[in-house]
Structure 1
């Protein structure tokens, strides 16, 4: 009886854990997808493809999760991705003309700084003027998107060096390089959120900003930093998208904001702030990637992805409300 009771307690603790629900949902999606496409979906090639696609959304979702934890939102990530991808592709094309085929680290760091700068602009406007993150980041998204279209004339351009072509398509020990980079980013940000003072401040601010301020936490600076980090992850995702498609694509980052938001919410991150984990967001990223993949495999209408994406967000938010 004692052992049986212990097992029940262990199962209960697992089910009560905040990330248990998204991972149970992930398992269900995998099983249903395997049944729907048994010959293709569970194959190694397809799973590797899912992980490669999920890694880029995953990078964006890391920053989105951080912003959501402080009670914000960032809808400018798609334009940041597009701008950084197009600028870097053009700089690489110029470098290739000079015989360069390497990583071009200086140019990569430059576009990452641009992403951080846009995040800084978002954070400063929102925090110093006490304005709604939804409206401000949407406005910034439109401005940056307009700049991208003026710069590119709406057409893909630039080239990618051989080093980035290899990085975007090659495997290390059977794992896509993009997935390895995403895993490293996840590990770094998990440490930041759960093992540093800044991470503790993020959760405190999201739970109750005024109470956090009264305890001496610099609420404004920490919030601004959250947007800077989101700009950084979006810029890096843009670089990886460029490496995958091998060109600067002004429209290639469409819907990444909604996918990242959906992944975070599915993973249990509260849009009101203060609640959520990157472990949960990872489950959300994989769920979104699997859903998109299986819809393509069964030949579903591409517009159906948007319908399902929106429905998933609604269900996840309603589920959070019910739990509260």
Structure 2
């Protein structure tokens, strides 16, 4: 699996293994070390290093990182880096904050080492847990598609392996993995999913639940990729500059900053809903917003059914979306959308602008 992943990545000359010392990433390091000792993959030269991220979230984490570094050096990986990070205490959940700090450290380590790819030890069990968590949150296609085998320079060659397989690799290689106590801590939703929910589903529905969830993710990745391509092309075709200046909304006390984006309402109405919602989300992101929740997307999309100027609807990341009627557009000196008949243009436009606090 590692060999196939590296071949798919174009046979990078230097590879980093992200290793926590746990059984999954340690098994991955042991497999990658095989290619490091040979010095090539399919006859292409390769060197393999490693990076350990110490999140400093548990007592003794520095000692675990140091012991893992020694094990990786004994396996023949070089260089081996230990990166200590500070996990943000506010602004997001602890798991998300740790993940963000870890990925930032991994990217920095790869830049420093000149590594084209970073190998991650996520398994089929991790993928199944990801899909279940997405279902519990009521997430969309992209979230239910789970983790990708490759994303940027991140590769996950073990997504087809079960966790018991990585334990067996460690046993055969004579490795003593570290078992993170947070993986069984019921305070974390992922840990509860791992220890309680998946075993219960296997018990009640029969074996193969994890494989079925991972297969669902693989299918949805294809669907999500297709919809993303269609939405990207549609957004680029429809987007228009919204004009300059600032317009204060008397009700909210917010000034709508210039440099916004508008979308012709008639064209939006003609889109399939799955594409329309994605185009609206992309317009919000294009002016600095964050991914809106489904409820916020519904609120923005509902402006298409209003008459006259309407809004604003506030979206995450300080973005405001509102509807401008044809009369208001003409008052602001904007023309109807190119290629849209005048009777269609009477539907107006949805305008997306970043907000800034009002100065009183």
| TM-score bucket of the superposed structures, by smaller chain | under 0.3
- Structure with the largest fraction of helix: 1
The TM-score with structure 1 as length reference comes to 0.25
- Structure with the largest fraction of strand: 2
The TM-score with structure 2 as length reference comes to 0.23
